[in-house]
Amino acid sequence: MYRIVEKRQLSAVVWEMVVEAPLLAAHAKPGQFLIVRADEVGERVPLTICDYDAERGTVTIVFQPVGASTEKFAALEEGDAFADVVGPLGRPSDILDMSEEELKSKKFLFVCGGVGTAPVYPQVKWLHERGIQADVIIGCRTKDLLFYEDKMRSVAGNLYITTDDGSYMHKGVVTSVIDELVAEGKTYNHCVAIGPMIMMKFCCLTTEKHKIPTIVSMNPIMVDGTGMCGACRLTVGGEIKFACVDGPEFDGHKINWAECMKRAQMYKTQEGEAKLRYEEGRTHEGGCGNC
């Protein structure tokens, strides 16, 4: 059992939990993920590692309740425990493979949207601890959905925040901020974009236009997390890859985005039905829920 030692609501729809997992915390690296189950019959949910503390023996996860399993997560309180937390899984971020000289030669830009802010934070923090400053763009629909502003500001070189509705800071989407920074004379030679699939796709179209190499995280299409189910199969540079074992990070300019966007929709019906069953309990009969 993996005890929840801290729980807090970060925004209107996002939760953060600090979980006791000493072995995982001792080996976790930025870019990797965990598989979490609420109970013995629960769904396996892949969640990117948001932070880790080897001395304390804890890992931090951030999630947005969107289905039955994550609704169960949100219902847990401090002192409760997850049945399983497996990991760390996946390959660490490619920045960990860079030499000190290469890191210092890079001009880093991180772009995050929605819950994607959580997996970006440990990478920016890792660079900051080594004296490398990175610019960060955080995008969200409205100010009420923004989180980690202070934490990100403490490790980023420059932090740019944009909201779709203009309720806070810049008005617009993250790609418009990229265009503006480049127009101002900013230069970057390494971009990491993490967030909703559609955001990552258009980030890649924008950075490709500006000739900025871009890495994306394909966590959104993972299901099992072990390479056995095949749900996260994608095409990268004409080759078949699996997000959970070959990634989750890939060269965004080489991804077949049309294929990935289609794959991301494959389980929407089953997820919706499972959430309805969870919400309605024994009264659920599989209908629309309005009667």
Q: What is the 3-state secondary structure (H, E, C) of 54-114?
A: CCCCEEEEEECCCCHHHHHHHHCCCCCEECEEEEEECCCCHHHHCCHHHHHHCCEEEEEEH
Q: pLDDT category, 279, cuts 50, 70, 90?
A: low
Q: pLDDT category, 267, cuts 50, 70, 90?
A: low
Is 229 part of a structural domain of the chain?
no
Return the C-alpha torsion angle 243, 249, 255, 256, nearest 10. 30
- Report whether pLDDT(284) > 80: no
233: three-class secondary structure by DSSP:
strand
Per-residue pLDDT, 67: 81
Cis peptide before 65 (omega within 30 of 0): no
Is 177 part of a structural domain of the chain?
yes
Q: What is the pLDDT of residues 63-73, one digit of tens each?
A: 998 888 888 99
Is 230 part of a structural domain of the chain?
no
CATH, residue 18: 2.40.30.10
Q: For residue 230, what are its two tokens?
A: 């095949």
CATH, residue 161: 3.40.50.80
Per-residue pLDDT, 276: 47
Region 26-54: what's the mean pLDDT? 91
Cβ pair 106, 190 in contact under 8 A = yes
Per-residue pLDDT, 268: 55
Q: What is the pLDDT of residues 153-170, one digit of tens each?
A: 999 999 999 999 999 888
Bridge pairing between strands 45-48 and 51-53: unpaired
**Which of 217, 236, 251 finishes a domain?**
217
**Which of 68, 89, 110 finishes a domain?**
89
Give the position of tokens 């089953």: 270
**Are residue 85 and residue 141 in the same domain, yes or no?**
no
User: Which of the pair, 284 or 38, is modelled with greater confidence?
Assistant: 38
Per-residue pLDDT, 282: 47
- The backbone torsions φ and ψ at residue 140, rounded to the nearest 5 degrees and listed phi first, read -150, 165
Per-residue pLDDT, 255: 93
Q: For residue 243, what are its two tokens?
A: 């997000």
- Report whether pLDDT(117) > 60: yes
- Report whether pLDDT(80) > 50: yes
Region 191-200: what's the mean pLDDT? 94
Looking at residue 228, the DSSP 8-state letter turns out to be S
**Are residue 139 and residue 168 in the same domain, yes or no?**
yes
Is 80 part of a structural domain of the chain?
yes
**Are residue 200 and residue 161 in the same domain, yes or no?**
yes
Q: Of the candidates 51, 111, 45, 64, which has an alpha carbon nearest to the alpha carbon of residue 244?
A: 45
pTM: 0.86
Bridge pairing between strands 33-37 and 84-89: antiparallel
Structural domain range at position 157? 94-217
- The backbone torsions φ and ψ at residue 156, rounded to the nearest 5 degrees and listed phi first, read -85, 155
**Are residue 130 and residue 79 in the same domain, yes or no?**
no
Q: How many domains does the chain have?
A: 2
Q: pLDDT category, 55, cuts 50, 70, 90?
A: very high
Q: What is the pLDDT of residues 211-258, one digit of tens each?
A: 999 999 988 888 777 777 778 888 999 999 988 889 899 999 999 998
Is 57 part of a structural domain of the chain?
yes
Question: Which residues have CB under 8 Å from 99's CB, separation 6+?
Answer: none
Q: What mean pLDDT value characterizes the chain?
A: 88
For 233-241, the CB contacts below 8 A with 24+ separation are: 233/263, 234/259, 234/260, 234/263, 235/259
